[in-house]
Structure 1
Amino acid sequence: MNLATYINDLLYRYDCVIIPDFGGFVTTRIGAKMDRDMQTFYPPTKQITFNSHLKHNDGLLANYIASAENTSFDKASSAISLSVIKWQNQLQSKAIEIDNLGVLMLNENKQIIFEPNTNVNYLTESFGLSTVKSTAIPRLKEQNVVVKPLTPVTSSTNDDKKVIPAFIKYAASAAILLTLGFAGYNGYQNNQQKEVLAKKEIAIQKKIQAATFVISNPLPTIDLNVVKEVYKPYHIVAGAFQAIENAETKVNQLKEKGFNASIIGTNKWGLIQVVFNSYVNRNDAINNLYKIQKTISKDAWLLDETLN
């Protein structure tokens, strides 16, 4: 079994993939950026880091392998443990290159150091986007430009001016006066119309305010108790069953132990899924998952419906 293949698959969908008893690969989203020195544009991506303190088994990797290999959760967990032992032994003598992820090695203090492979982009939103390199744009050097002053142009001299007859001046003045008088009359008419419309509107408003409406046979009031359903996409799965009777028996057993157990439907293999509880917040679901794995069932795992 090539463990790196399944880790790569999960990193496209999740922000963190934990290898039990070894460490976790964590992704951080990096926005698009530009290298001005290289004239290169880089699309948004997921930066991969390694955290050796994330060793607790959250069930994500084992459950995915069990589904892909069509095997049980326990067998998938055993296969992961064997791969971890192999990696730990190899690290004592040389660096390990994990397909598409990067290189793991030990430093002087025997701590795991990770160098990611930057050629793989795990951000699905950037699918099809590649690095673009642009040629530099040459800019024109400033040149000394001499601006010539504008020379005023005179139309004519005093001797060339023509004398305008007096009757033309009087006709122009009369036309201006007539135009002003007509405009003033139109403005007066508009103001009169506005005042009439305003008075009519006030009278209508008074009639509406004075009117009363009486219903002789009013309908009886009805009290409706509406329960708002809260969407809970995070489930702690207790098991999957072929028979509905077995699933209902499991639900009753969990309820007797104080869990808000329920059946959430069937998975893609046609098995009926039973959950310990469902949650609105992902952090609450993960915290309760750890408690259940320590006290009730180590095979419990988290189902995240927001990723479907």
Structure 2
Amino acid sequence: MKLAKYTYDLLLENETVIIPGFGAFVSTYKPAEIGDNEIKPPLKEISFTRQIRNNDGMLVASIARKAKISQTNALKRIEKECENILYQLDKGEKVVVEDLGVLFYNEKNEIRFTPFQEDNLLLDSFGFQPVSMDDIIEEPVVEQKTKPIKLPEYKGEPLIVYHEGRKKVGWYWYFLILIPIFIGGYSIFTKFSKSINKEIHSVPIPQTEKQEIIVQTITPSDSVVNGSIARNEAIETVKTETAENTVSTDTKFYLVGGGFKSEENAEKFIVRLKERGIDGIMIGQKGSLFLVVIGSFNTESKAYNSLNEHVKKYPDWNLWVLEK
């Protein structure tokens, strides 16, 4: 299957890759788990569904850019490849999708997909391998025994230790010490409070003078004129901002920067575009994907001219033109 390489590369960075008119490969994050004596790293589980077939333009744009052909010719290649796959399945054969899995018909004549277990499309787990718990061997703990240190025997005269007795001090001594401290503190506090009262009584109270209050009257005509001028300026400002922020209703062609299965990933992509100086806008969903556009045009030629300019600057981006 020649489409396998393009599909594999897109699944590394996207959750869903749609093959127009055939189906879609969907990747689902699976966290790390502990199985039968084995620890498995996190991975992306790949599944296939026939329910999503509408062309979102991502696969077509990727093939057109890498093969250096037009998007029309790229779409024709995809359709021809899908016809060949269905022909092989109708004959009862299994179709191997390189690096992804195998397509086949079940007993109900429905297309089913069995993914390969060897490859992990999750870039964060690149190079990680399952770890067998049988290989973990606990090393025995060796207790280190220390030999006791023998001190030499003292053969001199015996040492005499003197203990000084503590003199007991009665509680009445503490009481006699506290009495003069209390009396002195009380006298100091009394003198301080008297000096403060004298200072308060000696402070003169300033006399307040009467001041004339001048009331400036505003005539009704002035307020009406000023109010109307303010309203007119506000209306003109709103009109100017509305005219600047309104997108022309004649726009029919959009330059799509990416399609995402979750709205959160689409908003993250808009933030990354903002860091590069590009204004990205999410215009809603097309199928199950949230589309982020980086430009809108009235004619198809302008849209493809912008597409070619962006492809030269950012060859790794999956850009395409959406007619709406």
TM-score (norm 2): 0.48
**Matched residue count:** 194
Aligned to 2:128: 129
1:259 aligns with 2:256: no
Aligned to 2:273: none
Distance 1:260 1:34 in 2: 52
Cα gap change, 1:279 to 1:99, in 2 (>3 Å):
same
How many percent identity over aligned positions? 29
Aligned to 2:282: 280
Cα gap change, 1:60 to 1:260, in 2 (>3 Å):
closer
Matching residue's letter, 1:101: L
Distance 1:261 1:78 in 2: 21
5+ residue gaps in structure 1?
141-164, 190-224, 229-253, 266-276, 290-295
Say which one has the larger Rg.
2
- What is the Cα deviation at residue 258 of structure 1? 2.7
Cα gap change, 1:280 to 1:288, in 2 (>3 Å):
closer
Aligned Cα root-mean-square deviation (Å): 4.8
Aligned to 1:25: 25
Runs of 4+ in 1 over 6 A off after TM superposition: 260-265, 300-303
- What is the Cα deviation at residue 20 of structure 1? 1.1
Aligned to 2:207: none
Matching residue's letter, 1:26: V
Aligned to 1:244: none
Cα gap change, 1:25 to 1:284, in 2 (>3 Å):
closer
Cα gap change, 1:90 to 1:128, in 2 (>3 Å):
same
Secondary structure of the corresponding residue to residue 86 of structure 1: helix
- What is the Cα deviation at residue 132 of structure 1? 1.6
Distance 1:103 1:67 in 2: 27
Q: Is the 8 A contact 2:282 2:290 kept in 1?
A: no
- What is the Cα deviation at residue 128 of structure 1? 2.5
Matching residue's letter, 1:107: N
Secondary structure of the corresponding residue to residue 64 of structure 1: helix
Aligned to 1:150: none
Mapping 1:140-289, distance limit 5 Å: 168=165, 171-173=167-169, 255=248, 258-259=250-251, 279-280=281-282, 283=285, 286=289
TM-score (norm 1): 0.51
- What is the Cα deviation at residue 31 of structure 1? 0.8
Distance 1:100 1:88 in 2: 20
Secondary structure of the corresponding residue to residue 168 of structure 1: coil
Q: Is the 8 A contact 2:19 2:55 kept in 1?
A: yes
Cα gap change, 1:264 to 1:49, in 2 (>3 Å):
closer
Cα gap change, 1:99 to 1:136, in 2 (>3 Å):
same
